[in-house]
Amino acid sequence: MVRRPRLLAALLAAAVLVAVGVAAWRAASRSTPVSEADAVAGFRSDRGGSPAAASAPGVPAPGVYTYRASGREDASLGPLSISRSVPAEVRYVVTRRPGGYAVELRVSGEHVEGYRYRVTPGWTDMTWRRVDVTFLGLGRDDRRDVVPAARWIPRRPAAGTGWEVDFLTGSLRTRGRGRVTGRGVLPLDGRPEPVSVVRTVTRTSGAHGGGRDETVWWSPRLALPVRMISDTRLGGVAGFRGRLRLDLVSATPAR
């Protein structure tokens, strides 16, 4: 007579665990959108995010830019895998920094990338990088200096210009090559925006190494990507692949 209640209790507990696991798995298969209001609040609270801050040559106007987005993110751990679509809109937060500016790309509540750039007469160089991607609440907010500062975009991107990429973020080494592949025009705010097409292909060695292929349609006038397409593949114990396309909605940021 005692075994039956114990068996029922065990079955009930197992059913609860299964239900919790299924709910968590479903939640991990969805991305949490970042609202413009939340991004603007974060921008205003940042020491470099004063709405009164003016732009400078080679530095985008500070504020929150919105991009239409499409793409998927896949994570794997052994035989298990999770796939989720990115939200329809992502936020690109620009703040001023001494000698340049910082960017926070808020793809979703589960995916944030951060970059700091130094602007010189000839180049925009990346000096710092942040990657924070989570699935099922698991992940790592990795923030590291880029040593040495890496060339990212030439200030005057002439077609055919190429450069080497070679830098360290902690113990990880990234190598590759960037090139201005051409010029074009994209529609923005109801008018044509001249852009330079810049492709950068890199590979990172180390425990979580992998490759990244990124093409940016860059507006020298705005110092902003008008369009960006990237494909990132990372290996190791936990694998990741992210495919993302972004198209700028307006050249006027929210503040």
Per residue in 159-198, pLDDT (tens digit) is 999 999 999 999 999 999 999 999 999 999 999 999 999 9
Q: For 226-246, write each residue's pLDDT tens digit.
A: 999 999 998 877 789 999 999
Decide if 69 contacts 86 (C-beta within 8 A): yes
Average pLDDT of the residues in 206-228: 93
Give yes or no for residue 91 having a pLDDT over 60. Answer: yes
Quick one: pLDDT band at residue 150, thresholds 50, 70, 90?
very high
Peptide bond into 79 cis (omega under 30): no
Give yes or no for residue 37 having a pLDDT over 80. Answer: yes
Q: Is the model more confident about 220 or about 2?
A: 220
Average pLDDT of the residues in 37-51: 82
Average pLDDT of the residues in 109-114: 96
Q: How high is the mean pLDDT of the chain? A: 87
78 Cβ neighbours under 8 A, 6+ residues apart = none
Instruction: Specify the pTM.
Output: 0.85
Quick one: pLDDT band at residue 136, thresholds 50, 70, 90?
confident
Domain ranges of the chain: 1-30, 31-248
Quick one: pLDDT band at residue 20, thresholds 50, 70, 90?
very low
Residue 49 confidence (pLDDT): 58
Look at 83-87, 192-196, 207-211 and tell me which has the smallest mean pLDDT.
Answer: 207-211
